[in-house]
Amino acid sequence: MAQSPDPAPPLPGAPPVMTGNLMAVGSMVVWAAGFPAAERLLATWNPLALVSARFLVAILILVPAWLALDGVQALRTARWGHGTLVGSLAFGAGAYLLILAQWLTDPVTVAIIAAASPIAATLVEMVYERRRLRPAFIVGLLASLVGGVVATGGGGSPHFGAGAALAVVSSVLFAWGSYLTVRDFPDLSVIGRTTITLSGGLLATGTTYLAAYALGIVPAPAHPFDPTGLGLLVIYGVGGMALSQFL
């Protein structure tokens, strides 16, 4: 969830900080809604196929919305090459590692670990902007780690360690991608930045899935057009990705 240099105007009667906090909370809520939806879908979908479909659903919503809001010229002049590179490396890989982590563990464990992504975002800013570690941040980091262990009960899955590690790497990739998105595309609107980078995620995961499917490594999803499954996919792709990234 990238922070925007040109955020939405504050709510009437509310200070800008409160508005930003409310939008952050809203993005976390719709983002978290994707985890139980993904858990249901993983019963019949391979993780790589599911994350590819997730990106596809998000892009099918975002591209027309971007076109309607900013016009065709914005799409034509956007830096698609750099955007798809950032999206492929950060959001494509990050989203796949996150769903793989959930596949190995459970949605609660992954959600708790991924909720610590602001810590990863702070670390990314420290690297790029050479900020110093403050004692309060170190205390907060340790508290978050201890709280995560307590909340997950130490992990009940035999693959907890691997899943937790993948979730941590995913959080770092998302934080890195969000930082680059804001830094490298200041001329694009929020929806433009979201669309161009998530398009890169679709390119990376979709191409990988098609190649793996052609080689017989990854199966096609069972009953992909089931109404219930399509509804869950919309929640996972639109709410859990497109809308949360936009907010």
What DSSP letter does each residue of 60-98 carry, written as one string? HHHHHHHHHHH-HHHHHHS-HHHHHHHIIIIIIHHHHHH
- Stretch 6-19: mean pLDDT, rounded? 52
- What does the alpha-carbon distance between residue 43 and residue 47 come to, in Å, rounded to a whole number? 10
The whole-model pTM stands at 0.80
- What does the alpha-carbon distance between residue 109 and residue 102 come to, in Å, rounded to a whole number? 8
Please report which confidence band the pLDDT of residue 1 belongs to, taking 50, 70 and 90 as the band edges: very low
Q: Kindly tell me if the per-residue pLDDT of 118 is higher than 70.
A: yes
CB 202 within 8 A of CB 26: no
Q: Kindly tell me if the per-residue pLDDT of 202 is higher than 90.
A: yes
Percentage of the residues of the chain whose pLDDT score is greater than 90: 43
Q: Kindly tell me if the per-residue pLDDT of 164 is higher than 70.
A: yes
Q: Give whichever of 88-102, 135-149, 224-238 has the largest mean pLDDT.
A: 88-102
What's the gap between Cα 55 and its chain centre?
Answer: 10
Please report which confidence band the pLDDT of residue 96 belongs to, taking 50, 70 and 90 as the band edges: very high
pLDDT at residue number 7: 45
Please report which confidence band the pLDDT of residue 147 belongs to, taking 50, 70 and 90 as the band edges: low
Summary mean pLDDT of the chain: 81
pLDDT at residue number 36: 85
Please report which confidence band the pLDDT of residue 226 belongs to, taking 50, 70 and 90 as the band edges: confident
- What does the alpha-carbon distance between residue 77 and residue 187 come to, in Å, rounded to a whole number? 10
pLDDT at residue number 240: 66
DSSP state of 89: I
Counting Cα atoms < 13 Å in the Cβ hemisphere of 174 gives 26
Please report which confidence band the pLDDT of residue 48 belongs to, taking 50, 70 and 90 as the band edges: very high
pLDDT at residue number 6: 47
Which of 4, 5, 184, 3 minimizes the C-alpha distance to 86? 184
Q: Kindly tell me if the per-residue pLDDT of 197 is higher than 90.
A: yes
CB 102 within 8 A of CB 39: yes
Please report which confidence band the pLDDT of residue 136 belongs to, taking 50, 70 and 90 as the band edges: confident
Higher pLDDT among residues 228 and 201, named by residue: 201
Q: Kindly tell me if the per-residue pLDDT of 15 is higher than 70.
A: no
- What does the alpha-carbon distance between residue 160 and residue 166 come to, in Å, rounded to a whole number? 10
Q: Kindly tell me if the per-residue pLDDT of 95 is higher than 80.
A: yes
Which of 42, 54, 106 minimizes the C-alpha distance to 236? 54
pLDDT at residue number 23: 61
Lowest mean pLDDT segment, chosen from 81-85, 225-229, 240-244: 240-244
